[in-house]
Copies of this chain bind each other. A is one copy, B any other.
Amino acid sequence: MNDRGSRLSKDAVLDAAADLVRAQGPAALTMRRLAGELGCAVTAIYWHVGNREALLDELVARTVREMGRIRAEGATPAARAESVALELRRKLRARPHLIALVHERGLTERMMLPAQRALAHEAHAAGLRGAAAAEAVRAVQFHVVGFVLVERNRERAPAQHPGEPDLWDDATAEQDPGLAQAFADPPDVDRLFRATTRAVVASLWGAVPGEGGA
């Protein structure tokens, strides 16, 4: 029995832990703080989940399950592959802290399996086979995960870029003031993601109809 008269359970521990991580990141998840939330002794947690490492493993497993369902949309295989990339990015961005945990524990690949299958399906539909199909799938996969990691980093450290404009007033910048201006503004990440995704998919699947990507 805890403070509130209710019994502790593994699910209760996991729920409280997930709340802490979602709100304040994994560093905020200390066993003592968690016990505080649960109204029990620190050591009671150990009976239910083993230890902190095992607790994080369970949270990661949950996240991997949640990332499961991916559906492709569009007329052509290339367009459908692109839609998978876009949805993937959306889902990854919705759970930043937990995704970081998955990544830290080296389970990104495992988490990406459903998306991998969806992409493989579209590669197959586009006529790609064997190693060429695998390369196409992995190219998109690396691209999406990598992009999300980079943009997350930018968001976490908004004040860290010390005057990008200051560092651009050299020869090139004088020749092209529009360039310096473009670098002074934060990048339009949505646009950047669409453009690069389109480039990667187009080069491996064939052209994506609908917009005029070079």
Question: A residues bordering B, Cβ < 8 Å?
Answer: 103, 105-110, 113, 116-117, 120-121, 124, 129-131, 133-135, 137-139, 142-143, 145-151, 153-154, 156-157, 160-162, 164, 167-168, 170, 172, 175-176, 178-179, 181-183, 187, 191-192, 195-196, 198-200, 202-204, 206, 213-214
Contact = CB atoms under 8 A, between A and B. Distances in A.
Nearest to A205: B214
A48 B121 CA distance: 59
B106 A196 contact: no
B146 A142 contact: yes
B172 A109 contact: no
Contact of A153 (B106, B130, B143): B106
Of the listed residues A113, A153, A181, A213, the one surrounded by the most CB atoms of chain B closer than 10 A to its CB is A153
B109 A154 contact: yes
A152 to B, nearest CB: 10
Contact of A109 (B105, B160, B179): B160
B109 A192 contact: no
Nearest to A177: B130
B133 A179 contact: yes
A7 to B, nearest CB: 34
Nearest to A182: B134
